[in-house]
Structure 1
Amino acid sequence: MKRAVVVVCDSLRRDMMTTETTPNLLAVASRSVVFKDFSPVFPSVTRSSSPAIATGCHPVNHGILGSAMVIDEGTGPVCASVGDPDFVDRLRKVRGTVLFRPTISELLQDVGDAKIFSNVSAGAAYLLDPEGYGYVYHRAGSYGPGRKPVPAADRLDIAVGIEGDAEMTRRFCRDVIEGGVVFGTLWLSEPDNAGHNSPLGSPTHIAAIKSADRCVGNVLEAIAVVDPHFTETVLFVCSDHGMNSVRRTIDIAYQLVHSGFKSSYHSDDIVVADSGTSARIHISNSAKDRKQDLINFLNNQDWVDRAFSSDDLHDIGSPSCPGTSIVIAMAGDNVANEYGVSGMSDCAIGPDEVDQQIGVGQHGGAGFGEVQPFLFVRGPNLRASVSEAKVSLVDLAPTILEHLDVKPPRMDGRSLLPIMTRWAV
């Protein structure tokens, strides 16, 4: 039986893999096609990355534009956290759908079960299959087909972090690998969880990297029992983005009020949706005449790397998105932190994030460490090799579907099987 397995080590930078910290990951790499030029989507956040993997499309085409989004539920535009458990339902009520493109789970509904285990934010987990074509297991609530809650005995009662990831991996190996599921995703919370709360490269962060590596090792052991020679299984081991260290924190809404562009801190003429080291500014009709002046103002701030219209996203490797919003990539540099990990970025914060710590990890933009995810692919007739091809998160879905003999619909990504089989054994 053909199967596809995806393991995501959230925010693990490829330059932080060593024989000491990631022996299992390096073992996978030694028997896989390693993609040297693997890039995240923009913004480089998990809540936009998960539907990018699920749909094979960039954020502007699947519809989730960052860690937070501006939505109007009838009382004017407000900033809503995409990570909240109820965000999917709120977005469906606002626009009638959650994602603009079908997910892998939907496309495989006539082929076999899809099971997703995730220990990141609830919103990011549910966006992998928001309509419930398969199973999604998360600590905030788990559901099966039709989004029906799973039985109490089947819930994923874990905590975020190392111990929760370990327990989730045990469940994943039992229910997905040993259970003969056609498509399974294991999305670990580490080392992202530790990175957001401790300096990159610190003992706490390194311990989290080692824990993610152990989870990968457990998956390898489980596959070795059911398909030791990878004759039917394609295994994708990757991260969705990397991390930079927080250099400064910037309350963009406060800056816009202070500079006269926004009427008041909580006004809805201009609404800021921050996504770590990037942000999107929604401009209402009443303020649209301020747009170009606002872009000029932002591009003169030392905390902005670049501010541009959403219809210029092709400049950062993403399709354009005509509209009245402004996209900001926060400024940064390649300076190393106290543990020798390079990459610093300014971080956008909102009123609920004033406790964001200087010096811990963050992502969302296009800084040095943020654009260093990794991708290893092992599968039938694939020889260990290094590919120079430029690939990204959106290429996983079409590759998975082709392996499972399902013709993908229109996607931004392309199947990597033709690239990888050039070096077939």
Structure 2
Amino acid sequence: MTGPRPPADRVVLCVFDGLRPDFVTPERMPNLTRFAGQGTWFREARSVFPSMTRVATTAMATGAHPRVHGIVGNAFYFPQATRSHVLDLGRWDDVSLAVQATGGRFVTAEPMGDVLARASRRMAVVHTGSAGAAYLINPHARDNGHWTLSILGREHGGTPEAVDAMIARFGPLPPRRLPRFEETDYAERVFREHVLETLKPDVALIWFNEPDTAFHYRSLGSPETLEVLRTVDDAFGRIVTWVDAQPDADRYTVIAASDHGQITMRDALPLCDLLRGAGHVGRRGVERTLDGARFVMTGGNMGEIRILEGGAARRDAIARWLMAQSFTGMVFTRGGDGIAGEVPGTFSLSLVDLDHARAPDLVFVLRSDDGPDPFGNPGLGLMTECDVPVGGGMHGGLNRYELNTTLILRGAGLPAGVIDRRPSGIIDIAPTVLATLGLPPAATMTGRSLLDPAAESEAPRIYETGLGCFRQRLASAERNGSRILLHGGRVD
């Protein structure tokens, strides 16, 4: 006897890196807006913390928070793999170090690719982002007999034969130019003409690196960025048109999603120099070579600090110094009671589901607010000095416009033209994909299927703590035991 037929036979998942849902309008993205009217739009969907691409990618792939999947930053100190530098998961050589050091189990939660493989289902990925993100969306693709194309080239991923085959069929990989117009068009053609038409996998995923790149380097509202939005929207429109033309189109579920949002950076701080002036930086400071460093720090609009010399006393001193600065938005430390961290005034890493064994001693988020940028887009913040220009976009923190993601589903019995405002998240994507195909979630998944009509959410919970003049607040919601982070920041 066989069970009931699953809601769909195939899932097509299109990810727009960094796309804020308030940018999905008829003027900017007409195809995606039209698609939203055909499906259910989970308007209050959220990313995880840190709201960084490689962390969020792994959350999408595993349906789990960082406390479970173990990828705690785009870059983080991981001495199990190397003590010479901070591990940069955008680089394939660093990813390889981590994979080798962990015996192939760098991701500590079970990805949906593994669940699909056990059920003899196939997954194919076309990825235009970093080598690390292409790996993390289906970490064991080669072992599972799956297919992943990294548009960066054969030396940037674990399945170089896919690159060779696509060059043979579609010509040389496109040049790397800002914005990524050529990469978007090349990837969409490969996805539509090879993945969907030829491979016909059970789960087909395309990851557009735009509008994230344009947001970073061309700002959130410039004419060039608006052209990028139209380019990825046109690519999405061609994919949906292909699906709609299939004789079994009603057996396809299409998901449009983003991994995080972005806010505009109004200023950059020389945080390393400020820490040095306060007496916290040793001979080599926080440079890539860590010989003689007292601690290691990553940057952006948030970062981690790991103590190499001085133990808890140095951690506590740095945390107190950060909380005394006007530019600091939030500070987290390990342990505590699950709300407050070990250091008075800080939140616990467990409150934001970042309490993995690999988590750092200290996490800071620079200050942000909901004020308008020069183009009228809400969300302004600060960052440490990096290659993103002032006026460009950034993400990683807990501002609502960084956390709020695009998440729209069409098919699988979901109602059309509905805006669902229940808290949901990118952690719900993997269990939803599996449920759509009639498969159970992995045991490590903390997200829940969006097909479950009984998934009720509780009223938001507000947490507050601080030290002296420093006060910080975090809002989250619980849905069937799964935590969704809504927003957080400093309280004036």
Q: TM-score when scaled to structure 2?
A: 0.79
Please, what is the CA RMSD of the aligned residues? Answer: 2.4
Gaps of 5+ in 1: none
Q: Report the Cα distance in structure 2 between the residues aligned to 1:310 and 1:224, rounded to whole angstroms.
A: 49
Structure 1 counterpart SS, 2:253: strand
- SS of the aligned residue for 2:132 comes to helix
Distance 1:10 1:408 in 2: 25
Distance change in 2, residues 1:403/1:202 (3 Å): same
- 5 Å-filtered alignment, 1:120-199, equals 120-132=129-141, 133=144, 134-142=146-154, 147=159, 149-150=161-162, 152-155=164-167, 157-160=173-176, 161-179=180-198, 180-199=200-219
Which aligned pairs between 1:11-410 and structure 2 lie closer than 5 A?
11-72=18-79, 76=83, 78-96=85-103, 97-109=105-117, 110-132=119-141, 133=144, 134-142=146-154, 147=159, 149-150=161-162, 152-155=164-167, 157-160=173-176, 161-179=180-198, 180-226=200-246, 230-264=249-283, 265=285, 266=287, 267-274=292-299, 276-284=300-308, 286-311=310-335, 312-316=348-352, 318-321=353-356, 325-349=361-385, 353=386, 355-384=387-416, 385-410=418-443
| C-alpha deviation, 1:126, in angstroms | 1.3
How far off is 1:191 after superposition?
Answer: 0.7
2:453 equivalent to 1:419: yes
Query: Partners in 2 of 1:83 and 1:377 — Cα distance?
Result: 29
Cα deviation for residue 249 of structure 1 reads 1.5
Shift of 1:324: 5.3
Instruction: Please give the per-residue CA displacement for 1:91-130, whole angstroms capped at 9, x wherever unaligned.
Output: 1233332200122222211422211111111111111122
Tell me the TM-score normalised to structure 1 length: 0.91
Residue 53 of structure 2 contacts residue 259 of structure 2 at CA under 8 Å; is this kept in 1?
Answer: yes
Q: Find the residue that maps to 2:250 and give its secondary structure.
A: coil
Secondary structure, counterpart of 1:357 in structure 2: coil
Q: Deviations over 1:64-88 (max 9, x none)?
A: 1112111226763631211112222
Mapped partners of 2:226, 2:25: distance in 1: 11
Tell me if the contact between 1:306 and 1:329 (Cα under 8 Å) persists in the aligned partners. Answer: yes
Matches of 2:373 and 2:82, distance apart in 1: 44
Pairwise CA distance, 1:239: 1.1
Quickly say closer, same or farther: Cα 1:10–1:184, change in 2 above 3 A: same
Aligned residues: 414
Residues 193 and 308 (structure 1 numbering): CA distance in 2 closer, same or farther, change over 3 Å?
Answer: same
Q: Secondary structure at the match of 2:304?
A: strand
Q: Tell me the amino acid that sits aligned with residue 268 of structure 1.
A: A
Per-residue CA distance 1:337-380 (angstroms, 9 max, x = gap): 2211121111134xxx3x43111111111124212211100113
* 1:149 counterpart SS class: helix
- 1:90 and 1:169 map into 2 onto residues whose CA distance is 31
Return the alpha-carbon distance in structure 2 between the equivalents of residues 421 and 25 of structure 1. 26
Larger Rg: 2
Shift of 1:50: 0.8
**1-side partners of 2:111 and 2:42: how far apart?**
24
- Indicate conservation of the 8 Å contact 1:245/1:337, yes or no: yes
SS of the residue 1:108 aligns to: helix
Q: Counterpart of 1:9? A: 16
- What one-letter code is carried by the residue in structure 1 that aligns with 2:365? A
User: Any unmatched runs of 5+ in structure 2?
Assistant: 1-7, 336-347, 457-492
AA in 2 matched with 1:304:
T
1:245/1:359 contact within 8 Å kept: yes
Write the letter of the residue equivalent to 1:239. Answer: S
Contact preservation (8 Å) 1:76, 1:268: no
Report the residue type matching 1:60 in the other structure: R
Secondary structure (helix, strand or coil) at the match of 1:280 reads strand
Per-residue deviation at 1:243?
Answer: 0.8
